[in-house]
Structures are given as structure tokens and as C-alpha cells.
């Protein structure tokens, strides 16, 4: 899985890509869509390198690429990441190698490409691709157990959970990139001791710490993916905050699951980190010996050896009071995607198992990612034990659920011995008063 693009000694001629702690060293090279801030120019696809963006439209025009690389760059120069995704893993791997060679120290393309850089601070980021469909899974057994225990103390984990990847179809139209601001949602909810439900602003607004998986070429209708096909196909990952109205959710979710409680806002990071960039951070996927092992259509040798992806995930909170006082974000929880009970390939294989046709740019949410230890809950619902145990911040403020003016930041970082660490960029959203 590793090649010259992962070499820890590899350095870029872009100075900020060599800075310790950057999310975007030359070993990363994620894709996103942007335009220059304040302009009306069409969106174009770029690659993050340090604190810059390589504008691939200008980069193609600058020349110096092989004929094969020119063909890969053509849809990206036109602003169409989906069309590039549709070309499959060979194009994804081939262009990564070409970009790595062009951006490394000593590259013959440096002089031509230097004018093609745009400072990230001068760019307006959009959704990284056109998202056609969005499915949210429930892959954290720790989250499922903790939440289940709040509502079903005697039967917290339903019997199907360890056999089948659970998911539901979400809403695409309210997905926005980092920086999203949204009004507190309204809905119908019913207090346990109330005779009738009420309608109004949500009182138990929550965040959900998730990762987003983006489909590559996909599969034809009626032709399920094997595990090996699913592993080869997925394009990359980003960060996801799938905001939730817990009081609305508790009232509406039976019998068909979430509806208005989950369709008002979802925030994602603007960069897609490709699966090749994540290769140094893969790890074995294992289950406890006394748990059911995956059915054959959800099992493969590669998945057992390398199915897990190690990503340290942090949730940080900044209240309106903290912002007014000039204080930054405060970390409230930390987890790791390696705790997931189902892998990326298993989500794709199961999603397509009945013949569903996944398409380039479709997005899968992993569901809230929580760990087994205290402080690793991926939502306030867990950290506050359903609202019974307030979370106390450093300035003395307390939270059981989000208040107006609260901003939530999710960050992700991949680290492993012998590898250069990479990140995903920002995923920030802010709650506004209800309208």
C-alpha cells in the first residue's frame, strides 16, 4: 500500500508544507473545490499543500505533465471532481504520483507551478464534490451501547447490531462546508410527563462526531460490490458533524427512524483526504472473540489485515461568552476512528448488497464515533448522560446540550510510527437563534 509518495523524507518546495504540525504536508494532497474569496469565478478543484492551494485549472495550463496526467487533470480543471472520481483507483493513484513529483523539492515544474498557488486564507471553500446521495451509518458500538442504555437500560444493544451495518438515508440539501451557521431547528417533541406534544425551538440540540466517506466509481444497478471491490473503490474521507435535535428525535424516530431531527444541518470539512494518503495509518480489523464474526459477504483477508483506519478525533467547543472574551476553542472529547465496529469497505459492500447503485461522490456518514473510555463520547448526549450530568468548561460555564452562539469544531489527525502526520482541515459550525 505504501510507495514513494509516503516517504517520510519527502519534502515539498512549498515552504508551509514543511512546517511541523501542518495538516497538509506533501504526503497528504487532498482535493477540494474553491474560488477566490469575493470573486464570482466558477468553482475549481484544488489540492491543499501546506497553507496553500494548487489551482489545478492553472496547473494544467502551466504544462509539464505527461499525456496521461493531462487526461486525469482535465475534469479537475473543469471543476468536476465527480468526473475524476468516476475514473476509479488507477486515476486516483496515478495523479497522486504525478502531483507528488511536481510538488517535491527539486521538481522541474516548480517555476511553472508556483504562480498557480492560492493562499487558503484567500479562498472560499465549497462542498468538495457534488453529493448525490447521503447515507448515515451507526458504526460505533460504544455509542450505540451508551445511547441504548439511556433509553433501554435492560436491552441497550439491539440483537441485529453486531450482524448488520445499520444505516438510514439522510438529507443532502442541508450539507454545507466548514463555517456553516444555522438557526436552531424547530420541531415537535413531547416531554415524558406531558399529555400532548408541543412545537417550537429544539431544547436538546447536539453535535455528532463523525467521519464522511466518499464513493469513487461506484457500481452498476443490480451488481453488488464484493469486499475487495469496495476496498478498491472508496475515494477518500473527511470530517462530518451531523447535528441532531435530540428531543425531536426521541419523539419521531419510531417506527421509521430520524426525520426532522437530522435534516436541518450537516457540516463537513472541505477537503477529501484520499485513501492512498491514509495508507500509512491502516491497522488490523478485529472483533472480540465472543462476538459474531462478519458474514462472508462482509469479510475479506485484506479487511482483517488492514480494514481499520487510525484517526484521532477531537471535539472542541467555543461558547459565545468565550468568543467575546477572546478565548479559543476548548476540547471536550477525544476519540479514534479505529474503535469503529464496521469498516469503510463493509459499509460500501453492505450498502450495495441488495443491488443499490452507489455513484461517484455519494457520501456515507460513519455515525457518531465514541470510544470505550470516559471522555470519549462523540456527542453531548453521551457526555452529559442524557442531560443529567452537566459538562463544566474552564470558564465555569456548563453545558448539557448546545446553546445559541455555541460553535463546535471537529478535528482529525493521523499519526503512526515512521509516517508523516496528516490532517483533514477544519470542520466548524455555529448555532444561531431559532427563526
138 carries a ligand binding annotation: yes
210 carries a ligand binding annotation: yes
- Locate cell 497538509: which residue? 24
For residues 50 and 20, give the distance between their C-alpha atoms in angstroms, rounded to a whole number.
10
Residue 167 contacts by C-beta under 8 Å, 6 or more apart in sequence? 135, 136, 137, 138, 347, 351, 364, 367
Question: Among residues 70, 72, 76, which one has the least CA distance to residue 91?
Answer: 72
| Lookup: cell for 74 | 482535465
**Helix 89-103 with 67-77: angle, nearest 10 deg:** 100
Catalytic residue among 6, 143, 339, 351: 143
80 carries a ligand binding annotation: no
146 carries a ligand binding annotation: no
368 carries a ligand binding annotation: yes
11 carries a ligand binding annotation: no
Peptide bond into 255 cis (omega under 30): yes
Residue 339 bears catalytic tag: no
Cβ atoms within 10 A of the Cβ of 86, count?
18
262 carries a ligand binding annotation: yes
Coil vs helix vs strand at 82 = helix
188 carries a ligand binding annotation: no
249 carries a ligand binding annotation: yes
For residues 50 and 128, give the distance between their C-alpha atoms in angstroms, rounded to a whole number.
18
Residues annotated as binding site? Answer: 136, 138, 152, 208, 210, 242, 249, 253, 262, 266, 368
Residues annotated as binding site for Mg(2+)? Answer: 242, 262, 266
Residues annotated as binding site for Ca(2+)? Answer: 136, 208, 210, 242
Residues annotated as binding site for substrate? Answer: 138, 152, 249, 253, 368
**Catalytic residue list:** 143
Amino acid at each position: 500500500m505504501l510507495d514513494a509518495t509516503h516517504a517520510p523524507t519527502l519534502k515539498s518546495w512549498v515552504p508551509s508544507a514543511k512546517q511541523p504540525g501542518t495538516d497538509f504536508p506533501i504526503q497528504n494532497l487532498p482535493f477540494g473545490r474553491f474560488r477566490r474569496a469575493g470573486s464570482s469565478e466558477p468553482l475549481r478543484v484544488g489540492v491543499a499543500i501546506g497553507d496553500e492551494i494548487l489551482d489545478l485549472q492553472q496547473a494544467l495550463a502551466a504544462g509539464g505533465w505527461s499525456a496521461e496526467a493531462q487526461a486525469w487533470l482535465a475534469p479537475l480543471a473543469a471543476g468536476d471532481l465527480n468526473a475524476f472520481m468516476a475514473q476509479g483507483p488507477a486515476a486516483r493513484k496515478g495523479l497522486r504520483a504525478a502531483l507528488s513529483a511536481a510538488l517535491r523539492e527539486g521538481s522541474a515544474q516548480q517555476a511553472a507551478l508556483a504562480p498557480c498557488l492560492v493562499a487558503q486564507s484567500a479562498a472560499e471553500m465549497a462542498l468538495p464534490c457534488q453529493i448525490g446521495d447521503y447515507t448515515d451509518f451507526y458504526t460505533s458500538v460504544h455509542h450505540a451501547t451508551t445511547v441504548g442504555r439511556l433509553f433501554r437500560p435492560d436491552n441497550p444493544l439491539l440483537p441485529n447490531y453486531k450482524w448488520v451495518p445499520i444505516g438510514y438515508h439522510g438529507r443532502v440539501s442541508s450539507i454545507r462546508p466548514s463555517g456553516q451557521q444555522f438557526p436552531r431547528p424547530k420541531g415537535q417533541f413531547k416531554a415524558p410527563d406531558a399529555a400532548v406534544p408541543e412545537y417550537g425551538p429544539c431544547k436538546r440540540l447536539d453535535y455528532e462526531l463523525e467521519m464522511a466517506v466518499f464513493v469513487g466509481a461506484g457500481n452498476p444497478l443490480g451488481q453488488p460490490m464484493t469486499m475487495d471491490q469496495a476496498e478498491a473503490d472508496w475515494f477518500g474521507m473527511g470530517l462530518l458533524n451531523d447535528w441532531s435535535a435530540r428531543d425531536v428525535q426521541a419523539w419521531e424516530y419510531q417506527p421509521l427512524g430520524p426525520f426532522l431531527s437530522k435534516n436541518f444541518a450537516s457540516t463537513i470539512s472541505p477537503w477529501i483526504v484520499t485513501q492512498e494518503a491514509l495508507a500509512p495509518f491502516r491497522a488490523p480489523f478485529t472483533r472480540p472473540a465472543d462476538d459474531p464474526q462478519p458474514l462472508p459477504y462482509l469479510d475479506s483477508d485484506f479487511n482483517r489485515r488492514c480494514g481499520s483506519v487510525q484517526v484521532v478525533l477531537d471535539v472542541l467547543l467555543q461558547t459565545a461568552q468565550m468568543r467575546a472574551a477572546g478565548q479559543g476553542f476548548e476540547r471536550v472529547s477525544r476519540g479514534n476512528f479505529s474503535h469503529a465496529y464496521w469498516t469503510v469497505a463493509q459499509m460500501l459492500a453492505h450498502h450495495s448488497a441488495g443491488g443499490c447503485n452507489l455513484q461517484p461522490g455519494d457520501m456515507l456518514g460513519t455515525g457518531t464515533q465514541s470510544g470505550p473510555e470516559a471522555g470519549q463520547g462523540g456527542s453531548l448526549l453521551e457526555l452529559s448522560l442524557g442531560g443529567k450530568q452537566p459538562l463544566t468548561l474552564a470558564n465555569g460555564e456548563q453545558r448539557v446540550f448546545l446553546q445559541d452562539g455555541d460553535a463546535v469544531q471537529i478535528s482529525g489527525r493521523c499519526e503512526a510510527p515512521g509516517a508523516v502526520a496528516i490532517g483533514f482541515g477544519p470542520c466548524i459550525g455555529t448555532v444561531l437563534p431559532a427563526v
